[in-house]
Amino acid sequence: MICKNCKRLLPQQIQFCNGCGAKVIRNRLTMRNLFEDFAYRYLNYDNKFFQTIKTLFTKPEEVIESYVNGTRKKYVNPISLFAINITLSGLYILIIKKYFSEAMDLSSFAMQETEGQAKLNESIMSSIYDYSSLISSIIIPALALISIIVFYNKKFNYTEHLVVYLYTMSLFSMVSMLTSLIVLNINIEYFMTVSLLLYFLAFVYHCYVFKRLFHLNFKQLLLKILLFIPIFFIGYIGVSLIGAIIYFIFSDISLKDFAPKT
C-alpha cells in the first residue's frame, strides 16, 4: 500500500503514515465520512482550532510566540485561521444581504440626507459587501506597520507583527460575526450599538494582547496607547482622503449632489 500524500510504501494494517503522519484513507468518499472528517477537524473540542481560539482568549502570547518560535503542530497557523475567517466572512455577508440588509442602512443616522449622501452610503455598503476580504487584507499590514513603530522591540520584526494581527483580527472578526448574528435575530435595532461596542472591545483585547506579549506594566501600556491612537488616526484620515479622491474621480457622484435640497 502507498501513502496517497507522500507516496511512501506502507504496511497493510497501518492507520497513519509513518512518513508524513497523514491518516490512511481506505474507504470511498461518502457524505458520512465527509461529515465525520469535518466534525473531527472543526467540531471536536480537543482539536487545534478550538484549542487555538481558547488560548487566544486566555493566553494569546502562547499562541503567537509558539508560531514565531517554530512550533507548528500545537495551534492553527495564522494564515489558516485568517483563511477560515475570510470564508466565514463571505457566508456572514451573504446572510446579512439576504435576511438583514436593513441593518446596514446608514440613512437613519443622517438628519437630512442629501442625494449625494444617499449614494455615498449605498456605495460604502456595496464596497463592504464586495471587497470585505480585500479590506481585511489591507488593514492587517497597516496595523502591523503602526504596531512595529509603537511597540518597537528587537524581539519582533514586521512579519512577526503581521502574525500577531492575523491571529487577533481573525479571532475578533469571528467573535463579532457570531455576536452580530445573535443580536440581529434578537432585535435588529441594537445592531449598530453592539457593533460600536465590539470595536471598543477589540481595542481593549489588543491592549491585553500586547501587555502580555511584551510584558508591559500599566504605565508602559498607557504610553503606548497614547502613541498608537494619534498615529492610527493620522493614517486613517490619510487613507480616507485618498479613498475619497479616488471615489469621486471614478464614481458618478459630484459635489453638487451633497447640496441641501431646496
Domain membership of residue 143 (yes or no) is yes
pLDDT value of position 116: 53
Domain membership of residue 159 (yes or no) is yes
Number of separate domains in the chain: 1
In this structure, of 23-27, 90-94, 171-175, 203-207, the range with the lowest mean pLDDT score is 23-27
Calculate what percentage of the chain has a pLDDT beyond 70: 75
Rounded distance, CA 33 to CA 214, Å?
A: 44
Please give the distance of CA 64 from its chain centroid, rounded to a whole number.
Answer: 15
Domain membership of residue 40 (yes or no) is no
Containing domain of residue 142, as a range?
78-258
The mean pLDDT of 2-11, rounded to a whole number, is: 77
Domain membership of residue 52 (yes or no) is no
Domain membership of residue 99 (yes or no) is yes
pLDDT value of position 170: 93
Range with top average pLDDT, 19-23, 123-127, 199-203: 199-203
Domain membership of residue 136 (yes or no) is yes
Contacts of 129 (CB under 8 A, 6+ apart): 93, 96, 97
Domain membership of residue 15 (yes or no) is no
Rounded distance, CA 255 to CA 48, Å?
A: 52
pLDDT tens figures, 186-243: 888 888 889 889 999 999 999 999 999 999 999 999 999 999 989 988 887 887 787 7
Domain membership of residue 246 (yes or no) is yes
